Amino acid sequence: MTHRILLLPGDGIGPEIVAEAQKLLSVLPMAMSVESALLGGVAVDVTGQPLPDETLEKAKAADCVILGAVGGPKWDGLANAQRPEKGLLGLRAGMGLFANLRPAKLYKELEAASSLKPEVVSGLDILIVRELTGGLYFGQPRGIRPATDPVREGEREGFNTYVYCEHEIERIGRVAFEMASQRQGRLCSIDKANVLEVTQLWREVMTRLAPEYPNVTLSHMYVDNAAMQLVRAPKQFDVLVTGNLFGDILSDQAAMLTGSIGMLPSASLNASQHGLFEPCHGSAPDIAGRGMANPLATLLSVALACRYSLDEPTIADRIERAIQRVLASGLRTVDIAQAGQASVSTEAMGDAVVKAFLAAVIEK
């Protein structure tokens, strides 16, 4: 079977890191067709829209999509509907990608790069399961309007709606329980049930699902405490499941535990396992075009694509092993280099991973 892969390089460092993904794809032992399309600021420049119809159609037809990053100061002044981020959110909604998996794993070679003490983070391996097509990001009504409350008259008010219905909570809950059952069997659901009704319902639905997964132990934690525990004792966690906004925040925090946000891949899946794979970091306009970006989160995202969408788990394992070897050999991009340690370019890092991957194939 030929895998149909769509590349969306996007903005900032996106094209540089996706070029490394393309290099890696070209040596993978599987039949594939690879196409590219426009998303984000670059799409606004060419078509006036951050998510052109053609891009959404191609994404829906693909088996998996590999995305770089979107956004940058050039487009910050645009109206909401035109912002590059809107393109990404539209793609998530349009493809129905409700389940976002963000694994934060600390390679032992990078222990010193973490901002936390080695004894706190060594061996860290957690998975954040973030709901991706609902919650505060998508709730209606939303907007900025003249205030109606007499106390606020003459002012404008900004408002969003935090809403989840039961089926949305249940389907992300099931993904998280499944993931936990394939790992250490510990699932922590993150909410703010002491204040927000929407997360009281979240907690109720998670609790209701638990008896169906007897090999998973479910616990609950308020999001403020979870933020603290992630830096106090992150190894207490195995799998975390949470809503869209809390997941956005906690996953950046978890990324830093692994040494650099440049190391964190992500998989966004829909009900038919088609997915979008992207690094968790942004478009980093400040370093774009300088060959400094770390391509590893994107290359790890290619591994996730092989595992979750393309049913090529052996290739996924080989990519991850190749990356581990490259790190073990001492190669570092600037974000993960120690003070005084030499660093290599985006391209050199990509080349090294390709080489290590091919060497692993020969060994097999």
For residue 252, what is the enclosing H or E element? helix 244-257
Active site residue 149: no
CB of 264 to ligand IPM, least distance (A): 10
- Interactions with ligand IPM, residue window 276-295 (CB under 6 A): 280
Parallel/antiparallel/unpaired status of strands 239-242 and 217-222: unpaired
Query: What is the C-alpha separation between 210 and 156, in angstroms, rounded?
Result: 44
Task: Point out which residues pair with 128 in neighbouring strands.
Answer: 102, 240
With CB under 6 A as the contact rule, the residue among 17, 65, 88, 316 that binds ligand IPM is 88
The verdict on 56 binding ligand IPM (CB under 6 A) reads: no
The verdict on 85 binding ligand IPM (CB under 6 A) reads: yes
The verdict on 278 binding Mg ion (CB under 5 A) reads: no
**Which of 31-39, 158-166, 233-241, 243-251 is the region at the interface with Mg ion (rule: CB under 5 A)?**
243-251
Both tokens assigned to 65: 């999509």
Active site residue 224: yes
Both tokens assigned to 273: 């396992």
Residue, CB closest to ligand IPM = 85
Nearer Cβ to ligand IPM (209/302): 302
Residue, CB closest to Mg ion = 248
What is the CB neighbour count within 10 angstroms for residue 222? 15
Query: What is the C-alpha separation between 195 and 193, in angstroms, rounded?
Result: 5
Active site residue 335: no
Which residue in the list 252, 311, 317, 351 is annotated as catalytic?
A: 252
Burial of 112-121, coded b for 16+ CB within 10 Å and e otherwise, reads: ebbebeeeeb
Task: Output the DSSP codes for 138-188.
Answer: T-SS-EEEE--SGGGTTSEEEE------HHHHHHHHHHHHHHHHTTTSEEE
The 204-243 contact track toward ligand IPM, x by CB under 6 A, reads ----------------------------------------
Active site residue 248: yes
With CB under 5 A as the contact rule, the residue among 16, 168, 191, 248 that binds Mg ion is 248
Active site residue 137: yes
For residue 306, what is the enclosing H or E element? helix 296-308
Q: Which of 90, 83, 94, 96 is nearest to 40 (CA)?
A: 83
Residue 88 binding target from Mg ion, ligand IPM, none, CB below 5 to 8 Å by type: ligand IPM
CB of 283 to Mg ion, least distance (A): 12
CB of 248 to ligand IPM, least distance (A): 5
Which residue in the list 192, 213, 308, 335 is annotated as catalytic?
A: 192
* Cβ contact 241:176 at 8 Å: yes
Catalytically annotated residues = 137, 192, 224, 248, 252
Residues that bind Mg ion (CB under 5 A): 248
Residues that bind ligand IPM (CB under 6 A): 71, 85, 88-89, 248, 280
